[in-house]
Amino acid sequence: MSISRLLCATSLIATAIALPASAKTTFEFWYGLSGDLSNRIQEMCQSFNAAQDDYEIKCISQDTYENNLQATIAAFRANMQPTISQISDGGTLDLMLSGAYVPVRQLMEENGYDIDWSDYFPGIAAYYATSQGEMLSMPFNSSTAVIYYNTGALADVGFDGVPETWEQVEDVAQRMKDAGYECPIAFDPTGIWQWFEQAAMVADIPLANRGNGYEGLDAELVFNRNAMVDQVAFYKRLYDNGLMVHKSRTAGETANEAFMQGHCQISSSSIADHGTFSTQSAEGVQWTAAMLPIWEGTTRTNSVVGGASLWTLQGKSPEEYKGAAAFYAFIADPEQARWWSTVTGYIPVTNSAFQALSESGFYDAAPFKGRELAIASLTATAPTENTRGLRLGNFNSIRTQLGEMMQSVLFSDVPVQTALDETAARGNEVLRRFERTYNGVQLP
């Protein structure tokens, strides 16, 4: 062989070695969960990567929903955004009006996936869709608030079953206090989602006018002018009487930790924590979940979906969008949906997935019995004007202000009405700034 032919052959061999047989398309997914739930997402991502050879998803935790929202906004402005970002329910309107996304219905259709969007629970679909029903983001980790009870403590104080009204909650908490329990109810004053928002939903109480913001950006907060004043005053009374005890990161032990360790006997949180409670509660701690209480003489309405959805961000390549669509199809698969509900406590987001789990006996026994209460709570009634959700701009900021309000009431003895009036005024300033930012824009 001549020297020239040998060099040519060597060059071809080197080129063949340098190029992979089939390069995978890599894309990023940012999310706002930590701890056990973050571990579960990492497992999901590993399963997706192992299930096919075309794409590699890199899943990166930003620790909290708020951190992820801010990181996503900053990255988008710097043209360094991920392909997929998990945005909580409170950030839905912010993304909806940003124009920085590819609607999920469009994404899936353009990439050849036929999704039955009507199969998604109406209360979930409506939160992430336009008024005409076009899905903008992919429902993902959906939940609602429930209340958890230590069944041993309930039996110890002679309470049969679980409390169904706020009056019964106060009664059983007082019994626990009298019996020597130092912490009847674990209360995180920043836990606004379950103790304030969801409490309003199940009682059909508006947090804002204009249909909680669904009817326009000119909505104003009204929680300082209705029964939510009495709800906060109720929490203040429980706290002052030692029936509610401050539990949070800043207090050295979170409400969930206090409940799982048996230090507190009642706590309210997401149904998503059902899985964590099942695997991490201390030995001997027996518990059950129930729908949020309502007041005697009132009628329960549906609670609202919490959690987050997945938004596909603009500015990425067609190959990355194909990867995102493949990932969405993967998480929508019935077997994957079953796994997700099994290891977390998040609810199935489609009727068919819930029916399949029910028919298989999934909810019939521990550790999964009780998770069906989330579906019962979300579908207790058809959504009313006040219980279909919230369409309020920069609502995460308002949530922070509500948490500060609760702390001022409990720890600084600020009168409830004063605290709520001041919070509503500050929150309305947030809404007016948002309205000016999107001046003249109509809600989709």
pLDDT value at 425 more than 80: yes
Can you tell me the distance from the alpha carbon of 2 to that of 211, in angstroms, rounded to the nearest whole number? 83
Q: Is 86 exposed, middle or buried (0-12, 13-18, 19+ CB in 10 A)?
A: buried
Question: Tens digits of per-residue pLDDT, 180-236?
Answer: 999 999 999 999 999 999 999 999 999 999 999 999 999 999 999 999 999 999 999
**pLDDT beyond 70 at 1:** no
pLDDT digits (tens, 9 = 90+) for 428-441: 999 999 999 999 88
Query: How is the chain split among helix, strand and coil, in percent rounded to 5?
Result: 50, 15, 35
Q: Are 268 and 189 in contact (CB under 8 A)?
A: no
DSSP, res 126:
G
What local confidence, expressed as pLDDT, does residue 9 receive? 40
Mean pLDDT of the chain, nearest integer: 92
The confidence score (pLDDT) of residue 36 equals 86
DSSP 315-375: S--HHHHHHHHHHHHHHHSHHHHHHHHHHH-PPPSBHHHHHHHHHTTTTSSTTTTTTHHHH
Residue 244 has a pLDDT of 98
The answer to whether domain 24-143+306-359 and domain 145-304+372-437 are alike in fold is yes
Please determine, for residue 6, whether its predicted confidence score (pLDDT) is greater than 60: no
**CATH class (in words) of the domain with range 24-143+306-359:** alpha beta
Q: How far apart are CA 265 and CA 285, in angstroms?
A: 10
Q: Which helix (H) or strand (E) holds 3?
A: helix 3-18
**CB within 8 Å of 387: residues ≥ 6 apart:** 201, 202, 204, 301, 302, 303, 304, 381
Look at residue 5 and tell me whether its pLDDT is greater than 70.
Answer: no
Q: What is the pLDDT of residues 376-405, one digit of tens each?
A: 999 999 989 999 889 999 999 999 999 999
**pLDDT(16) > 60:** no
Question: Can you give the residue ranges of every domain in the chain?
Answer: 24-143+306-359, 145-304+372-437
Provide CB contacts within 8 A for 103, sequence distance 6+: 134, 135, 136
Q: Which residue has the tokens 């058809």?
A: 382
Q: What is the pLDDT of residues 122-162, one digit of tens each?
A: 888 888 988 888 999 999 999 999 999 999 999 999 999 99
Dist CA 336 CA 257 (whole Å): 29
Q: What is the DSSP letter of 240?
A: H
Q: Does the pLDDT of residue 255 top 50, yes or no?
A: yes
Which pLDDT does position 22 carry in this prediction?
59
* Tally of helices (H runs) and strands (E runs) in the chain: 20, 11
235 with 412: CB under 8 angstroms? Answer: no
Q: Write down the CATH superfamily of domain 145-304+372-437.
A: Periplasmic binding protein-like II (3.40.190.10)
Check pLDDT > 80 for residue 249: yes
How many other C-beta atoms are found inside a 10 Å radius of the C-beta of residue 53?
10
Q: Which of 396, 391, 353, 407 is nearest to 375 (CA)?
A: 353
pTM: 0.87
Residues in the chain, total: 444
Q: What's the pLDDT band for 338 if we cut at 50, 70, 90?
A: confident
Helix H or strand E encompassing 70: helix 65-77
Reply yes or no on whether the pLDDT at 44 is more than 80.
yes
SS3 404: helix
Amino acid residing at 234: F
Two tokens at 382? 């058809």
pLDDT score, position 131: 83
Residue 19 pLDDT: 43
Can you tell me the distance from the alpha carbon of 88 to that of 340, in angstroms, rounded to the nearest whole number? 18
Give the CA count within 13 Å in the CB-facing half-sphere of 216: 8
- Overall average pLDDT of the 411-432 stretch: 98
pLDDT in tens, 68-100: 999 999 999 999 999 999 999 889 999 999 989
CA distances from 124 to 129, 173, 303, 369 (A): 9, 33, 11, 22
The tokens describing 263, both together, are 């230090």
pLDDT of 17 over the 50 cut: no
Rounded to whole angstroms, the Cα distance separating 108 from 325 reads: 6
Q: How confident is the model at residue 343 (pLDDT cuts 50, 70, 90)?
A: confident
pLDDT score of 13: 39
Cβ(294)–Cβ(167) below 8 Å: no
CA end-to-end span of the chain: 71
Cis geometry, peptide bond prior to residue 415 (ω within 30 degrees of 0)? no
pLDDT digits (tens, 9 = 90+) for 283-337: 999 999 999 999 999 999 999 999 999 999 999 999 999 999 999 999 999 889 8
